[in-house]
Amino acid sequence: MSGSSRFPEIDLLRGIAIVMMVIFHSVFDCSFFRIAPVVVDTGFWRYFAYATASLFLLVAGISLAISHARSARHLSGWPLTRKFLIRGAGIFACGLLVTIATWWYLQEGFVIFGILHLIGVSIMLSPLFFRFRKWNAAIGIVFILLGWFLATIPGPAALLVFGIHPLAFWSVDYTPIFPWMGLVLIGMAIGEFAYPDGERAWTMPRLPDRAVSLLAFLGRHSLVIYLVHQPLILLVLYLVTGAPVF
């Protein structure tokens, strides 16, 4: 979606997810660097992180359904599949940049397969699932249930992408295919229902421009913000608290 063809509500939801992400990562950094006595791996902040990731992935799925419906008007077969393979590979490459940066910065706990890796892989795999349309909701639920089961099975690091990992594994961002791609699939089903043929099937209530314009702007530039927000948070924390974050 680009230009006037964008749906403002999609940008709004993605912008809300961006704000939630910045809030959580700010709190996480305060905990990680012992700037403030806050617990992020249990309780409220843990569920806040789950909600943030879930919103990102649901919106990604909705956007995939819209994009596919619109692209299918003038593409089919391999050209249509290639479009999503290239787009997904680009997102996955951004995930690899996060892997390199966190490995250099953190060493222990660096991101191996985080949310950008997952979104990239989901986009590349999406041509296998578009045909199921609204049934992707059921498939997504299966992914989620399977993910809960696989999380109980320790295994080699080679299976990290599927949700199986060594007992001692830890990462600051771990978003395996099972269960998390299930949310992308559910989002694709929502997109088929709410935006059939890539067009809105419901009446959009009028929203106050001032209340949503900033969030929509953030949503339109979510990838760039994702890539730069963490260094900016660390810089602010350093300037405000003097904590040794670099």
Given a cut of 90, is residue 18 above it in pLDDT?
Answer: yes
This prediction has a pTM of: 0.95
pLDDT tens-place string over residues 80-99 = 999 999 999 999 999 999 99
- Average model confidence (pLDDT) across the chain: 95
Would you kindly state where each structural domain of the chain is located, as residue ranges?
3-241
The whole-angstrom separation of Cα 208 and Cα 210 is 6
Given a cut of 50, is residue 3 above it in pLDDT?
Answer: no
Confidence of residue 111 (pLDDT cuts 50, 70, 90): very high
pLDDT tens-place string over residues 122-168 = 999 999 999 999 999 999 999 999 999 999 999 999 999 999 999 99
AA letter at 88: G
Given a cut of 80, is residue 1 above it in pLDDT?
Answer: no
AA letter at 118: L
SS (H, E, C) the chain: CCHHHCCHHHHHHHHHHHHHHHHHHHHHHHHHCCCCCCCCCCHHHHHHHHHHHHHHHHHHHHHHHHHHHHHCCCCCHHHHHHHHHHHHHHHHHHHHHHHHHHHHHHCCCCCCCCHHHHHHHHHHHHHHCHHHHHHHHHHHHHHHHHHHHHCCCECCHHHHHHCCECCCCCCCCCCCHHHHHHHHHHHHHHHHHHCHHHCCCCCCCCCCHHHHHHHHHHHHCHHHHHHHHHHHHHHHHHHHHCCCCC
> CB-based contacts of 239: which residues, under 8 Å, 6+ apart?
none
